[in-house]
Structure formats: structure tokens, C-alpha cells
Amino acid sequence: MIIDKLFERVAKNGHVCVGLDTDYSYLPENFAAKFSSKGEAVFQYNKALIDATIDIVACYKVQIAYYEALGIEGMECYRNTLAYLREKDAIIIADIKRGDIAKTAEMYAKAHFTGDFEADFITVNPYMGMDSISPYLPYVQNNDKGLFVLIRTSNEGAKDIEYIETADQRHVYNVVGEKINTLGREHLGQCGFSAIGGVMGCTHADEAAEVRRQLDSTFFLIPGYGAQGGKAEDIALYLKKGNGGVVNASRSILLAYRKVENGAENFAECSRKEAIRMRDDILKYAK
């Protein structure tokens, strides 16, 4: 199962998930100037970063909005980036955050689990209800695909809905997480985690132990490390015996060269060093 493959990558390479949320403005000017289109420049930048990090990270998350914003050439770049990741046997999380029902959700599943935009996992939004998840399940069951379902996010606005208290004095995100964990038990891998994972921000460390206890078989995609305030010691609280989660980092890796004098000349190596720093920081606490 794809979740077992991800579990094994974490055990081998650590917890880092490189976010290829690549805006054209992030590219070094001298590098970008080599290419005739923004889409081609972004693809070549992604390709260089993938080559530099493939042996030291667990997976890659590709946020589709950055590519949609470039129009047709952006979507070609998105397609080419996914194809290159598959060529390198990388595990791909397509960050599309779809949240709809019935035939529309079926089409989203087909679009992002097959064809030009095929990925291993996709992110989905459950806040329309569990029938917004069910159209994806045949691909999980029959095509070895996986989901990361939004449970508790790392943004400030999470408190607007996710933290509303229910009649039994839980939070909305607790209810959603419980439903996802229960559903996920029907899709367990040999590693003990489900191919139906959850997005779980690490910015509320005080809740981490209870969250991990409640969602015992849910593999986490964890945002919030670094700039949003999450620390490596916080990450460890969301893991089980050092596994069970990957930690996303986007701009800190994509823009690592800007923190180094003359870094633009060796931007991929700067990204590699930042990914290694992050990997090792988390591994110090992930037991």
C-alpha cells in the first residue's frame, strides 16, 4: 500500500515533505532569465530541487494554485513536475484541497488520481460532510492511492470553525478527526497507519498528546513548522515511535538560497542543506 511506502520513506529519509509551492518570483533572476517562459523556468527550478533532495526527504507536496496562476503553461509545468517526480519514484502529495460531493467529487478524483495530474495522495476538505470523501475511496481501495483530509489546520483562522465547541464539549476538529480515523481503519497498511491520513497543524502542542491518542491510526501531514511557530519538539508529539507523520516545508526550502551570500549560484545545494537541517532537527526529538 502507498501508506506503507510512505512509512518506509520516513524511516529511511526522515520526515521532511518538500512543498513545491513554487512562485515564479522565488527563482533567482539569472536562472529564470535562461528560459523562454515562466512555466518552463519553474519546472527547471523544481527539477533541480528534486534532484538535490530526493535522497534525503520523505515526499513532495505540490500546491496546485501556484501553477493554476500561470494559466496553461502553469498547468503544463504542474503536469511535468508530477511526471518527473514519478520518474524519480518520489511520493507525491497533490495539494488540491477539493471539497465537493457526488459527480463533481468523482471527477476531481479521476483528474488527480489518473492521467496527466496523477498523484499518490491528494488533500481534501471534509467540511461539507463525509459524502465529500466517499467518491475518492474506490481509488484508495483499488488503485493504491491515499488522502490527507483537513482536520485541524495551522492557520490563525482555524479557530473560526475548527475550534467551535460541540454539545459534548469537544471541538469540531475532534469530531472530524474521529470520523476520519474510524473510516481509515478500513484502509490500514501493514505499518498500522491508514491510507486515509489527516492534515494536522503542529501549532498547538498542548493538544498533541490527546490528538495522537484519539487518532491512533491516522498518518499526519503536518504544517506549521518554522515560520508559523511549530518546533521540532512539538512535531515529535504528533508521531508514534518516531513515525506516523511528514512535515511540510515550502518557502524555507525553496528560498534557502536567499539566506546565503551568493546563494543564487548554488540554489539547489542551499535547498538541500536546509532540508538536511530540518530533517536532523526533527530527528533529534522523534523517538
Per-residue pLDDT of the chain (287 residues; tens, 9 = 90+): 999 999 999 999 999 999 999 999 999 999 999 999 999 999 999 999 999 999 999 999 999 999 999 999 999 999 999 999 999 999 999 999 999 999 999 999 999 999 999 999 999 999 999 999 999 999 999 999 999 999 988 888 888 988 999 989 899 999 999 999 999 999 999 999 999 999 998 877 788 889 999 999 999 999 988 767 778 999 999 999 999 999 999 999 999 999 998 899 999 999 999 999 999 999 999 97
Three cell numbers at 199?
Answer: 492534515
pLDDT at 207: 85
pLDDT at 224: 86
Q: Taking each helix axis from N to C terminus, what angle separates 38-53 and 71-87, rounded to the nearest 10 degrees?
A: 20
Measured in whole angstroms, the distance separating CA 263 from the mean position of its chain's CA atoms is 26
Cα(43)–Cα(199) distance, rounded to whole angstroms? 26
pLDDT at 105: 96
Amino acid at 185: R
Kind and range of the H or E run holding 275: helix 267-283
Measured in whole angstroms, the distance separating CA 109 from the mean position of its chain's CA atoms is 17
Half-sphere exposure in the Cβ direction for 216 (13 Å, CA): 5
CA distances from 247 to 41, 186, 283 (A): 26, 25, 12
pLDDT at 230: 79
Judge contact between 256 and 235, C-beta under 8 A.
no
pLDDT at 229: 74
Three cell numbers at 255?
Answer: 528560498
- Report angle CA 124, 125, 131 to the nearest 5 degrees: 90
Three cell numbers at 123?
Answer: 488533500
pLDDT at 226: 76
pLDDT at 195: 98
- Which residues are annotated as catalytic? 97
C-alpha closest to that of 139 among 121, 159, 157, 155: 121
pLDDT at 161: 86
pLDDT at 104: 97
Measured in residues, the chain has a length of 287
Cα(97)–Cα(124) distance, rounded to whole angstroms? 4
Strand partners for 200: 152
pLDDT at 205: 77
pLDDT at 287: 78
